[in-house]
Structure 1
Amino acid sequence: MSKIERAEVFVASPGRTFVTLRITTSDGVVGLGDATLNGRELAVASYLRDHLVPLLIGKDPARIEDMWQYLYKGAYWRRGPVTMTAISAVDTALWDIKGKVAGLPVYQLLGGRSRDGVLVYSHASGRDTAELLDDVERFLSLGYKAVRAQAAVPEVGGTYGVRKGKLYEPAATALPDEQPWDTEAYLNFAPTYLEAVRERFGFGFHLLHDVHHRLTPLEAARFGKAVEPCRLYWMEDPTPAENQEAFRLIRQHTTTPIATGEVLNSIWDVQTLITEQLIDYVRTTVVHAGGLTHLRRIFDLAALYGVRTGSHGATDLSPVSMAAAVHLDVAVPNFGIQEYMGHADETLEVFRGGPTLAAGMLHPTEVPGLGVEYDEKAAERYPYEARYLPVARRLDGSVHDW
């Protein structure tokens, strides 16, 4: 019987920092898992190397469910982003192995296709409304059927979601960038540029917007009401999601759809949001919510309550996670949309393969497993660089949700 013979953890910064787990069986089958936690990568790398890897050696790689329970319940200290990201990496790597052993792409092991392709959205942004409109036009010309729109609030530095280079990547080198924030200025300005997008391009595509946890429930309700004429596909993370009950107030005041969950990492974190239908889209992701095994549980619970999927898919997910996400997206019945930003050229030197983009949709590979390979030699050219996400401060100097 095949056993886990080796488990290696790689930390590299090709374009941005990624933590990758590579499991090798006694039969020579290799599985990859993503263990990246943006701004806290080394904590997960240590958790894997020091605590989980010793537990894997000699285990049966086919017992995916048993391994998940062993790593989750067996630790006693449960949940949290570091623990769940580490478990995700192991779980995803074992699914990769299982697919290769079976000779099937992972989505076939999840029940096969529910759809032909996976609808994605990407990120349009600008330093002002005019620049944003040009960027929206660029994405629509590329065939995207869904676009997220963000613009810099005038005279407020550090506005979330505005791209500085080819890709939006907020994590910076050295210490965190401390950025100013003015809620009233945002509430006054953001509806105007969303209205401008609709006025110029109409309603023939999905328009999304990310509030990024910055509003109180009442402020979020006010914002959702204001943008109802724009018919947003969703407003994302309108308020911090630790208090699930807070979404009830937003629900009472607006019909703008709500999406949340990218920073949540278990089914218990979204249980009330889903079962009381306080959100429309759950954004939990493979890498932070316990891998394919646990994310499928979240999506199945959501399906019972008419909540659709909309998983996080920024550049802080490696191509391994993106591939795993698309395999699950194509299989589940309640799929909604998948965030997709692409990756830097350096990233694609290290991670080879994965889903393909055509006409605004991603398509999973048909090769066995997840369909991504890790080039260790290429990764050695990109040593680890410490990068932190920004910190937001109100104009009075106090710390705000970033």
Structure 2
Amino acid sequence: MTTITNYELFEVPPRWLFLRLETSDGVVGWGEPVVEGRAHTVRGAVEELIETYLLGEDPTRIEDHWQAMYRGGFYRGGPVLMSAIAGIDQALWDIKGKQFGAPVYELLGGPVRDRVRIYQWVGGDRPADVGEAAAAKVDAGFTALKMNATAELRRVDTPEAVAEAVERLGEVRERVGPAVDIGVDFHGRVSKPMAKRLASALEPHEPFFIEEPVLPGHNDALPEIAARTSTPIATGERMYSRWDFKQIFENGAVDVIQPDLSHAGGITEVKKIAAMAEAYDVAMAPHCPLGPIALASCLQVDAVAPNALIQEQSLDIHYNEGNDVLDYLVDPSVFDYDEGFVELPDGPGLGVEIDADYVRERAEQAVDWHNPVWRHDDGSVAEW
């Protein structure tokens, strides 16, 4: 019987954690288990799961391993455990695909599409110069963009703050025209009263969706926000299992879910979340401001989910300082973008070949990325 015999973890720039999982017959699978800004913490969780459970096990029993890692520790859920499970799950699927000589999506029932639409980030955390950046990305062939709505906001902010957000989106809409989709990310940094005001105020510029209008702890407010706008509501990047998504499916307020393949239990779990969403007529656009392994994992689920709408990817995103998505790949052309789409990777497993020597070289660099702590003008902590 083939067993899992060894693993390595690599913290690499700009803010990623890669897992290399090896079997007794020499097959290698890669995963990306990370919480941005908490890589050291997730690393410890991955080591604990592998050392106490996975070493010596048959790598092919992916569902059983998922259940054991999730349910076997009594305490469950949350970003750290689910991200650790996610990266291990990705690596197990990569191994299984390589064992069968097929892309993971073929093992999940086969593709329902030939390519996946993607969107490109413009602006930054405090969005600026978005019009020019948006026009440049559209000229480069992208047909969908995403931008942050605002910088930090007070719990109840001024008409000027709302007007500035509207002006920024209006500038982008004017530059790119009505044929380009523009997602607007509230990033959980907006309070309920401001989310209601912004959702209504931005609507004339027809956003593709408004993302995470409130923090997941306030998902009970989503029906009220949705009632004030015809703009689709998207959320889910900080929700980590199908049980976390139950409420928003049942209250009917969300139109697009955004589970993260490196945070929400990996391929095994996100495929189930996507199927739940389909039953509620909800689309899926996986969250992925991460590296190439996470993106490859997203595309495997996008390939088989009928309700997959569009895919986030982090090429040139403002977080990627020092290294970018394509740097760690032997063949970067696997993610060539054409007219705003990427073809399904057709290689075995996750369909990407990681440059292990380059990963080891970059892992020797000090990586200590943490998101900034923002403060309001009165000194109190603001949502980032």
Q: Would you call these one fold, judging by a TM-score over 0.5?
A: yes
State the shift of 1:119 in Å. 0.8
State the shift of 1:28 in Å. 1.1
Matched, 1:298 2:298: no
Higher deviation after alignment, 293-302 or 122-131: 122-131
SS at match of 1:223: helix
Contact 1:356 1:364 in 2 (8 A): no
Counterpart residue number, 2:302: 329
> How far apart are the structure 2 equivalents of 1:304 and 1:265?
19
Structure 1 gap segments, 5+ residues each:
154-158, 161-178
Over the residues paired in the alignment, what is the CA RMSD in angstroms? 2.3
Contact 1:182 1:394 in 2 (8 A): no
Contact 1:84 1:289 in 2 (8 A): yes
Q: TM-score, normalised by structure 2?
A: 0.91
State the shift of 1:88 in Å. 0.5
Contact 2:10 2:360 in 1 (8 A): no
Q: TM-score, normalised by structure 1?
A: 0.87
> How far apart are the structure 1 equivalents of 2:238 and 2:126?
28
Matched, 1:10 2:10: yes
Alignment CA distance shift 1:243-1:131 (3 Å):
closer
SS at match of 1:8: strand
Q: How does 1:2-401 map to 2 (within 5 A)?
A: 2-13=2-13, 16-125=14-123, 131-150=129-148, 159=151, 183-184=157-158, 185-314=160-289, 317-342=290-315, 346-347=323-324, 348-353=326-331, 354-382=334-362, 383-401=365-383
Amino acid at match of 2:189: R
Contact 2:237 2:259 in 1 (8 A): yes
State the shift of 1:129 in Å. 9.0
Contact 2:155 2:190 in 1 (8 A): no
> How far apart are the structure 2 equivalents of 1:364 and 1:201?
27
> How far apart are the structure 2 equivalents of 1:290 and 1:126?
28
Contact 2:155 2:191 in 1 (8 A): no
Contact 1:244 1:270 in 2 (8 A): no
Alignment CA distance shift 1:109-1:355 (3 Å):
farther
Contact 2:49 2:69 in 1 (8 A): no
> How far apart are the structure 2 equivalents of 1:81 and 1:70?
17
Contact 1:326 1:363 in 2 (8 A): no
SS at match of 1:242: helix
> Which is helix-richer, 1 or 2?
2
Identity of aligned residues (%): 34
> How far apart are the structure 2 equivalents of 1:374 and 1:310?
25
> How far apart are the structure 2 equivalents of 1:95 and 1:365?
14
State the shift of 1:54 in Å. 3.6
Count of paired positions:
374
Note the alpha carbon deviations across 1:171-206, whole angstroms, 9 max, x for none: xxxxxxxx9999434322111121222234321111
Contact 1:120 1:337 in 2 (8 A): yes
